[in-house]
Amino acid sequence: MHDEAPTAAQTDWPQILALYDVLAHVSPGPLVTLSRAVAVAMVHGPRAGLAVAGTLDADERMAHTHRLEAVRGHLLERAGEPAAARAAYLEAARITASEPERRYLTLRAAALRTPER
């Protein structure tokens, strides 16, 4: 789906969301839900995506992965909440075992730092 669009802006997010809806029905799981949260955000806005992602907060399978906090950071950033986004990115950076991902997440957080007064 992503590679069919000539540009990122032309990605057919409603179609991607419909496919994630089917996948969530036939093969539910936390990573499907998390991916669906991104598609929901792209179709219905970041707050709707955050609501879907929030359903994973109590899922023990997500307790030791950075993915939920990374997605939360991205969606909070899109929702115009830089301080909350920064905190989520930093938590994701703390959890991840991948050094390249840690660097990326730390850079995302640093980009959202509020200027000193």
Mean pLDDT, the chain, rounded, equals 94
Provide, rounded to the nearest whole percent, the portion of the chain with pLDDT above 70: 94
Our count of domains for the chain comes to 1
pLDDT digits (tens, 9 = 90+) for 29-51: 999 999 999 999 999 999 999 99
pLDDT at 5 exceeding the cut of 90: no
Query: Is residue 117 in some structural domain?
Result: no
CATH of the domain at 81: 1.25.40.10
The Cα–Cα gap between 56 and 15 comes to 23
Residue 42 resides in a domain: yes
* DSSP labels, 36-102: HHHHHHHHH-HHHHHHHHHTTTT-GGGTT-SHHHHHHHHHHHHTT-HHHHHHHHHHHHHH---HHHH
pLDDT at position 116 is 57
Is 24 a member of any domain?
Answer: yes
pLDDT at 117 over 50: no
pLDDT tens per residue across span 10-30: 899 999 999 999 999 999 999
First to last CA, the chain: 45
The pLDDT assigned to 10 comes to 86
Domain coverage including residue 103: 2-111
In a domain, 116, yes or no: no
